[in-house]
Amino acid sequence: MTETVTPMMAQFLEIKAGYPDALLFYRMGDFYEMFFDDAVAASAALDITLTKRGKHAGADIPMCGVPVHAAEGYFLTLIRKGFRVAVCEQMEDPSEAKKRGSKSVVRRDVVRLVTPGTLTEDTLLDARRHNYLAAYAEIRDEGALAWVDISTGAVSVMACSRMRLGPELARLTPREVLVSEALESELAEVVSDLGAAMTGLGRTAFDSTSGEKRLCSVYGVASLDAFGSFTRTEISALAGLVEYLDITQKGNMPLLRPPVQEGDSPVMQIDATTRRSLELTHAMGGGRQGSLLSVIDRTVTAAGARLLERRLASPACRADVIGERQASVQFMLEQGRFREDLREALRGAHDVDRALSRLALDRGGPRDMAAIRNTLEVADRVNAACQAHELPPVLTLAARHLTGHDDLRDLLGEALVAEPPVLSRDGGFIAPGYDADLDEARKLRDEGRSVIAGMQSDYAALAEVPSLKIKHNNVLGYFIETTATHAEKMMAAPLNETFIHRQTTANQVRFTTVDLNEIETRILNAGGHALDIEKRLYASLKESIVAAAGPLGALAAALAEFDLAAALADLAQRENWCRPVIDDSRAFEVTAGRHPVVEQAQARLGAPFVANYCALTEAPIWLLTGPNMAGKSTFLRQNALIAVLAQMGSYVPASEAHIGIVSQIFSRVGASDDLARGRSTFMVEMVETAAILNQADDRALVILDEIGRGTATYDGLSIAWATLEHLAEVNRCRAIFATHYHEMAALASRLDGVENATVTVKEWDGDVIFLHEVRKGTADRSYGVQVARLAGLPTQVVERAKVVLEALEKGEREGGGRKDALIDDLPLFSATPVQPAPPQKVSAVEDRLAGILPDELSPREALALVYELRTLMDEA
Ligand SMILES: Nc1ncnc2c1ncn2[C@@H]1O[C@H](COP(=O)(O)OP(=O)(O)OP(=O)(O)O)[C@@H](O)[C@H]1O
């Protein structure tokens, strides 16, 4: 059997061959259709119906489709599920194709590849987060990382060794990472660890020589030296980015800002594990909720929120930089009135960066222009308010970028209506009075409409049919409509000279007239003309906006800086935070420090948070012992968070703090299996501890929680012991080391610079009460059994554990030689069933309480009951 491939299927297959790794969304009228394996995969991923359309090679062709107007939502679902989408559009009107012959297929082509790192649509992006696309390149032993947020156009690049790649990617959390195909398998683990998609590109994409030329042409400069002196590897990484943007945007290059070289100003090094365990920008579950960022974010603009995220992800390491940022926050704190007015004004600002980028990519519309207009007005108000103040240096610099946009502001102010539509397609966004030709065309169009209203009454009178109506639809245009009963006389002489029959439907008959046709043409012409003028004006406004992209970007950055300073001041005031002293010493002293996230959780429960003192200045290492659940992990983390907050330029949750610059933070708190990589909990813990011991320098801050927990007691204790010695003698860093091995407390007396601290608890009537107070000294015991009881372990098990614990402790006191005998003594593995503990005697108070139905008590009876209970208790 010979199979004929339809011309349309032939076209589909040809286009699809160019995009084997993407789902091809093939435009057919109002739908995007998918065929073959794409249809099978997409229907499953999107939960839409899979159907068939024709046959190919003897088999049915699977097909599914989504409506064009709803496509954005489907893109997002597919991207989240790891697909990429090639969007194939109709490149001509179907009528054009028909002219070439009835069998001709409409020309189609892929106009865009939708991938995780190249999204620009507002609906697909989180306004308060960056969406980075990164590229990593290597030339010989040198590596470089470049990254871009195409929704804002910000481009950065830095030298980055293979070793630093993981931590840097953890800092940026890009959605997609580009690497040369040759590196794909070696880097797969690092990239997938972060949950980013990896895309391999051919080696030529990273060629630094052709890349440099390409970059020069994108930026319209003769040499990249204008932006800094880039190494060949940095150019190679940037070239990879630009090449990929070319492929995915099909030559429609997004607006790119000049590349900024990072790395000049050192930032605090925080590796991926530490970021995860401190939950800086993402909570353990992966979302923003519950992270430090979610608790401290008081910004009122999306750009301010993104700046906060950047700062929090990269705390500074220079006391002067930090001091300048703190000065901005302090200014905002002192000028409460100014701050409130500023925040109120900023609430009216829009996301200029993203609006600009959409306009430049031709995915924007009049509403994006209005966003820019409104923000320019906000900038004017902010600038005016600044005049009455002496601003600190960072804000003075920012304020300079708020002015100089009068022409654009006036242009947009005059040209646009107050609330323009999202799309330019249907017009209606240019304000009346801005363009005389447009006003004229609109007048004609509108007059035509009122003439039609007049014609309806004339025709009704002529035909003596008062119910006659003039209507409009897309097929017939304007027409006269009446019921079949009235229509008869209109089709007969003499009325049929005026009314020309067009169509008869079930209940209605439709007519036209020569005059109606004429007026319709006039309306259409005027309407079409008006739309043409609006489109032309749109293009020219867009050109003016894009030409001002540089200063507009600086303005957006300036507003973000104001927003962030005000937001941090708001936070400091509401939460009662203090300005930390930052210098180049090795001090670390925090008075009444708190954990902002736990504190907030406690507040929701109506429970207080106990503030604690920590000083790693004289004794740079604290060895923290204390029962389970006492608050050790909280204390460890809160001090690391305070260092991060302090160095990002924020105030900190404490009454006083003095921090000598911390260059690296390492945190190993809690462990989990990494089954995907075949590592047990203990293995993960050891790999991470090794990384700390190998990398921490004398400016590092290390927090280690319960090292060695995952193995046999003596192995664990020995590892913890040796680790602490190494930190104190080799790394010589500041550290807090929490352990449940109380034996380690003895080390503190032997090692210089190690001090014992403990989280206090009180024992009361066999129960533990957590005081959450950290003080110098050691814990006497771990209270594990009591905590287990609190957790609801069956009484039987708890009682049994107490017996075993007592016996073990006794054995310990009497020397190791007794161990075997001890095990024999204990009916550990004996078959004797353990008797449940005898029920405790019920007190008179409990007895009385058991008979009470609280809902039935009046307030007076309740009070009387309290007195009664009190007496019962005193009698007992
Ligand atoms: N300073 C504090 N003030 C008030 N409540 C606190 C404080 N620190 C901790 N908590 C409360 O105690 C709980 C347990 O704290 P955390 O996890 O830090 O204990 P831990 O000693 O590390 O326990 P484990 O050894 O079992 O891991 C917290 O979830 C919080 O509710």
* Residue 630 labelled as part of a binding site: yes
CATH number at residue 675: 3.40.50.300
Residue nearest to atom 1 of ligand 1 (CA): 610
pLDDT over 70 at 403, yes or no: yes
The residue type found at 131 is N
Same domain, 159 and 103: no
> Is 282 a domain residue?
no
Task: Name residues whose C-beta falls within 8 Å of residue 518's C-beta, 6 or more positions apart in sequence.
Answer: none
- In the Cβ-directed half-sphere of 120, how many Cα atoms lie within 13 Å? 28
Query: CA of 445: how far to CAs of 6, 72, 217, 469, 786, in Å?
Result: 45, 34, 45, 20, 84
Is any ligand 1 atom within 6 A of the Cβ of residue 594? no
Predicted local distance difference test score (pLDDT) of residue 311: 95
- What value does the mean pLDDT take over residues 611-625? 92
Same domain, 150 and 184: yes
Predicted local distance difference test score (pLDDT) of residue 490: 86
> Per the structure, how many domains does the chain have?
6
Same domain, 674 and 772: yes
Same domain, 229 and 357: no
Main-chain phi, psi angles of 862, to 5 degrees: -65, -40
CATH number at residue 389: 1.10.1420.10
Same domain, 715 and 647: yes
Same domain, 215 and 321: no
The residue with tokens 């907030």 is 600
- Other C-beta atoms within 10 Å of 606: how many? 6
CATH number at residue 244: 3.30.420.110
- What value does the mean pLDDT take over residues 65-94? 89
Task: Name residues whose C-beta falls within 8 Å of residue 722's C-beta, 6 or more positions apart in sequence.
Answer: none
Q: How far apart are the first and last CA of the chain?
A: 101
Is any ligand 1 atom within 6 A of the Cβ of residue 739? no
Q: Give the range of the structural domain holding residue 857, as residue numbers without chain letter.
A: 844-875
Task: Name residues whose C-beta falls within 8 Å of residue 147's C-beta, 6 or more positions apart in sequence.
Answer: 132, 133, 134, 135, 155, 156, 157, 172, 174, 241
Residue nearest to atom 14 of ligand 1 (CA): 629
Mutational test site, ligand 1, from 277, 590, 598, 758, max ligand atoms within 8 Å of CB: 598
Mutational test site, ligand 1, from 634, 638, 703, 790, max ligand atoms within 8 Å of CB: 634
Pairing of strands 734-739, 108-114: unpaired
- What value does the mean pLDDT take over residues 238-260? 90
Is any ligand 1 atom within 6 A of the Cβ of residue 374? no
Residue 296 burial by CB count (10 A; 0-12/13-18/19+): exposed, middle or buried?
A: buried
* Residue 631 labelled as part of a binding site: yes
Q: Using CA atoms, how far apart are residues 165 and 190, in angstroms rounded to an integer? A: 8
pLDDT over 50 at 832, yes or no: no
810 band by pLDDT with thresholds 50, 70 and 90: confident
Strongest mean pLDDT among 308-312, 362-366, 736-740: 308-312
Q: Using CA atoms, how far apart are residues 214 and 211, in angstroms rounded to an integer? A: 5
> Is 395 a domain residue?
yes
pLDDT over 90 at 631, yes or no: no
Is any ligand 1 atom within 6 A of the Cβ of residue 609? yes
> Is 737 a domain residue?
yes
> Is 828 a domain residue?
no
Predicted local distance difference test score (pLDDT) of residue 629: 77
Is any ligand 1 atom within 6 A of the Cβ of residue 761? no
Is any ligand 1 atom within 6 A of the Cβ of residue 736? no
Is any ligand 1 atom within 6 A of the Cβ of residue 632? yes
Is any ligand 1 atom within 6 A of the Cβ of residue 631? yes
Is any ligand 1 atom within 6 A of the Cβ of residue 628? yes
- Other C-beta atoms within 10 Å of 67: how many? 11
Residue 323 tokens read as 């001091």
Predicted local distance difference test score (pLDDT) of residue 1: 44
Q: Using CA atoms, how far apart are residues 254 and 360, in angstroms rounded to an integer? A: 6
Residue 551 tokens read as 């200063």
Q: Using CA atoms, how far apart are residues 552 and 411, in angstroms rounded to an integer? A: 15
Residue pLDDT, tens place only, 466-497? 999 999 887 888 899 998 888 888 888 888 88
Q: Are 88 and 106 in contact (CB under 8 A)?
A: no
Residue pLDDT, tens place only, 12-21? 999 999 999 8
Higher pLDDT, 677 or 41: 41
Residue 233 tokens read as 């590897």
Q: Tell which residue, 572, 654, 671, 662, has the closest CA to residue 617.
A: 662
Residue nearest to atom 12 of ligand 1 (CA): 631
Same domain, 629 and 749: yes
Q: Is 704 helix (H, G, I), strand (E, B) or coil?
A: strand
> What strands lie across the sheet with 51-56, from one edge to the other?
51-56, 59-67, 31-35, 23-28, 85-90, 108-114
- pTM comes to 0.80
> Is 692 a domain residue?
yes
Q: Is 594 helix (H, G, I), strand (E, B) or coil?
A: coil
Cα-Cα-Cα-Cα torsion 721, 726, 727, 733, nearest 10 degrees, comes to 160
% of residues, the chain, pLDDT over 70: 93
Predicted local distance difference test score (pLDDT) of residue 782: 64
289 band by pLDDT with thresholds 50, 70 and 90: confident
Residue 379 tokens read as 């900038």
Predicted local distance difference test score (pLDDT) of residue 814: 67
Q: Are 329 and 650 in contact (CB under 8 A)?
A: yes
Predicted local distance difference test score (pLDDT) of residue 833: 44
* Residue 626 labelled as part of a binding site: yes
Residue nearest to atom 10 of ligand 1 (CA): 631
* Sign of the C-alpha dihedral computed for residues 275, 278, 281 and 284 taken in this order: positive
Predicted local distance difference test score (pLDDT) of residue 701: 97
Of 83, 114, 145, the last residue of a domain is 114
pLDDT over 80 at 804, yes or no: no
Q: Residue 147 pairs with which residues in a beta bridge? A: 134, 156
Same domain, 552 and 533: no
Predicted local distance difference test score (pLDDT) of residue 259: 92
Same domain, 168 and 251: yes
Angle at alpha carbon of residue 610, lines to 608 and 616, rounded to 5°: 160
Specify the ligand 1 atom closest to the Cα of 598: 30
* Residue 228 labelled as part of a binding site: no
The residue with tokens 């946009």 is 405
Same domain, 375 and 394: yes
Mutational test site, ligand 1, from 629, 667, 706, 785, max ligand atoms within 8 Å of CB: 629
- Give the Å distance between the CA of 740 and the centre of ligand 1: 14
Main-chain phi, psi angles of 32, to 5 degrees: -100, 125
pLDDT over 80 at 222, yes or no: yes
| Largest CA-CA distance found in the chain, in angstroms, rounded | 127
Q: Are 484 and 475 in contact (CB under 8 A)?
A: no
Q: Using CA atoms, how far apart are residues 363 and 359, in angstroms rounded to an integer? A: 6
% of residues, the chain, pLDDT over 90: 47
Predicted local distance difference test score (pLDDT) of residue 677: 52
> Is 489 a domain residue?
yes
pLDDT over 80 at 401, yes or no: yes
- Flag the least confident range among 118-122, 329-333, 724-728: 118-122
Cis before 494? omega within 30: yes
Higher pLDDT, 423 or 399: 399
pLDDT over 70 at 157, yes or no: yes
Residue pLDDT, tens place only, 82-140? 899 999 999 988 888 888 887 888 999 999 899 988 888 777 788 888 899 999 999 98
* Residue 628 labelled as part of a binding site: yes
Same domain, 657 and 766: yes
> What strands lie across the sheet with 588-593, from one edge to the other?
581-583, 656-660, 588-593, 612-615
Specify the ligand 1 atom closest to the Cα of 611: 1
Same domain, 52 and 154: no
pLDDT, mean over the chain: 87
> Is 794 a domain residue?
no
Strongest mean pLDDT among 219-233, 704-718, 808-822: 219-233
Query: CA of 263: how far to CAs of 68, 144, 145, 643, 789, in Å?
Result: 44, 11, 11, 20, 52
Mutational test site, ligand 1, from 278, 633, 759, max ligand atoms within 8 Å of CB: 633
CATH number at residue 18: 3.40.1170.10
- Other C-beta atoms within 10 Å of 484: how many? 12
Residue nearest to atom 4 of ligand 1 (CA): 609
Residue pLDDT, tens place only, 565-610? 999 999 999 999 999 999 999 999 999 999 999 999 999 999 899 9
> Is 708 a domain residue?
yes
Pairing of strands 108-114, 154-159: unpaired
- Give the Å distance between the CA of 61 and the centre of ligand 1: 60
- Give the Å distance between the CA of 609 and the centre of ligand 1: 10
Is any ligand 1 atom within 6 A of the Cβ of residue 783? no
Higher pLDDT, 1 or 337: 337
Residue nearest to atom 23 of ligand 1 (CA): 629
Specify the ligand 1 atom closest to the Cα of 670: 27
- Give the Å distance between the CA of 116 and the centre of ligand 1: 38
Q: Are 51 and 40 in contact (CB under 8 A)?
A: no
Residue 848 tokens read as 């009385």
Is any ligand 1 atom within 6 A of the Cβ of residue 772? yes
* Residue 629 labelled as part of a binding site: yes
